[in-house]
Amino acid sequence: MIQTLEVKNFRNLGHYKVEIQEPLIIIEGPNGIGKTSLLESIYFASTTKSHRTNKESEMIQHGKQYLRVKLKLKNSLNEVILSDKGKRTFINKKEIRKLSEYIGSFHVVMFSPEDLSLIKGGPSERRYFMDFQLMQVSKTYLNDLNIYKKILKQRNALLKKLTLDSDYTFLNILSEQLYEVGLRIYDERIKFIENLNKKFDKINQKYKDFHIKLTYDPDVSKEEWLEILKTKQKQEIQYQQTLYGIHKDDIKIEYNGHLAKEYASQGTIRLIVIELKLAVLAYLKENGIEDAILLLDDVLSELDIERQQLFLTTMPKTHQVFITSATEINGIEAQKIVLTKEK
C-alpha cells in the first residue's frame, strides 16, 4: 500500500505531496486540475510507462528539465526520475540500473477512459492487454514472447530477401521455431481467457441483464498453423512479412450474446472494461500478487446512478483503491483528496 505520494514537475503538478491514510482514496476536483496526472504518476512509478502517451517527454511539466515521482510503500521507497537523459529508477535510495529489475517491485491495475479501446479498438490493443497481464505473473511468458518477436523479426527480414524461386530451407526452420514457441504463448493465452470468464460468471450475477463472455480468437488454429507457414511461403514473400500466427490473434468480447463493440451502449462498454480490470485484479491475486493497487480514473461517468452505487458498494476491500471524480462522492468511507488551482 502507498503511504506517501510525492510528485515534482509531473504535467500540471509542480510539486505535490500527500500522506495516504486509508485503503480507499477519492481524488476530487474540477477537470484539468491534475486528478488524472496523480494516477498516471503512480502508474508510471510502477511500470515506468505512461498509460496516456508514448512520448514520455510530454509528462515533464512545460519549461522543466525533469520529473520525479516518489512513493513510500509499506516495505520500500520507490523513486523514478525522467529527464532528457533518460530514466533512473531507485528502490530504497539504491539505483536500479536495469528497468527489467525495477518493474514488478509493486503492481498496479488501472482503468482509464483510454481503456475503452479494448472494445472499440483493434486486435493489437487486445493482444497487448493479454500479454501485459501474463507478463506480470510469468517471466516464462515474457521470455517466450521476446523469443517469438525475435524469430518473427528474423523471418520477416528473410522474407524481404527471398524470391519466389529461392530455397525455402532456412525459412522452414524459422517457421518451426516460430511455431514451437508460439504454441506455448497460445496455450497460456487460452488459460488466461478461461480464467477471466470464470470471474465474469460471478460478475454477471451482480448486475441485471448483464452477461459478458470472452473468446480467444486465434488468427489460425494451432493444428493448422505450421502447415500454413510451410505452404503459404510464396504469398508471404510477395507481401514480405509473416502473415499468419499469434501476432495476429484477437479476443472477442461479447455482451448478452452479441459483440460488445457493436451492441453495447457507451455506459455499458465502460462498465464491461471496468469489470474486466477487476477480474484482472483477482487474477493477479491468484498468481501471488496480492497487494496490487487499483487505479480508477473517471470511473463513474456514463454509469447510471444504480450502477454507480452498486459498483461503489462492491469494490474490492482487500486492495488499495484510488478513484478520481469531477463530482463529489458521498456515502462511502474514504480519504478525500481535493485538488484546487493552488496545487
Q: Rounded CA gap, 219 and 205, in Å?
A: 32
Q: What mean pLDDT is predicted for residues 314-337?
A: 87
Segment 146-167, tens digit of pLDDT:
999 999 999 999 999 999 999 9
For the chain, domains (ranges, CATH) are 2-107+292-338 (3.40.50.300), 123-255 (1.20.1050.90)
Q: What is the pLDDT of residue 326?
A: 84
pTM above 0.85, yes or no: yes
pLDDT band at residue 30 using 50, 70 and 90 as cut-offs: confident
List Cβ neighbours of 131 (8 Å cut-off, separation of 6 or more).
141, 145
Q: What is the pLDDT of residue 342?
A: 52
pLDDT band at residue 343 using 50, 70 and 90 as cut-offs: very low
Share of residues in the chain with pLDDT > 90 (%): 78
3-state secondary structure of 178: helix
- The most confident of 69-78, 203-212, 308-317, by mean pLDDT: 69-78
- The most confident of 92-101, 182-191, 302-311, by mean pLDDT: 182-191
Give the cell for residue 144. 517466450
Given a cut of 90, whether residue 303 has pLDDT beyond it is: no
Segment 92-146, tens digit of pLDDT:
999 999 988 898 889 999 999 999 999 999 999 999 999 999 998 998 999 999 9
List Cβ neighbours of 299 (8 Å cut-off, separation of 6 or more).
111, 270, 274, 311, 323, 324, 325
Block residue for cell numbers 516460430? 178
How far lies 3's CA from each of 92, 123, 191, in Å? 14, 38, 35
Q: What is the pLDDT of residue 319?
A: 92
Segment 37-56, tens digit of pLDDT:
999 999 999 999 998 888 99
Q: What is the pLDDT of residue 179?
A: 97
Exposure string for 121-142, b = 16+ CB within 10 A, e = fewer: eeeebbbebbbebbbbbeeebe
Give the cell for residue 231. 505452404
Mean pLDDT for the chain overall: 92
Given a cut of 90, whether residue 58 has pLDDT beyond it is: yes
Segment 234-289, tens digit of pLDDT:
999 999 999 999 999 999 999 999 999 999 999 899 999 999 999 999 999 999 99
